[in-house]
Amino acid sequence: MANIEIYTKATCPFCHRAKALLNSKGAAFSEIAIDGDNVKREAMIARSGRTTVPQIFIDGPTYWRL
């Protein structure tokens, strides 16, 4: 099974939609909430080159960028 990671913020409607889609497909994923956590936010930026959420990684590379 694929390793899925999703970076999110609690107030992000696109994050809620992305998680709902993954859940509806029965996909297991790890959520990394970056709210108020600059270390996690900087790690996300280093991985994706983006500052927006959601950022979804499937087996490593960025899969979805908004």
Q: What is the pLDDT of residue 60?
A: 74
Residue 2 confidence (pLDDT) above 80: yes
Q: What is the pLDDT of residue 1?
A: 77
Residue 63's pLDDT band (cuts 50, 70, 90): low
Residue 27 confidence (pLDDT) above 60: yes
Kindly report the average pLDDT of the chain as a whole number.
92
Domains defined for the chain, CATH in brackets? 4-64 (3.40.30.10)
CB 58 within 8 A of CB 21: no
Give pLDDT tens digits for 29-57. 999 999 999 999 999 999 999 999 999 99
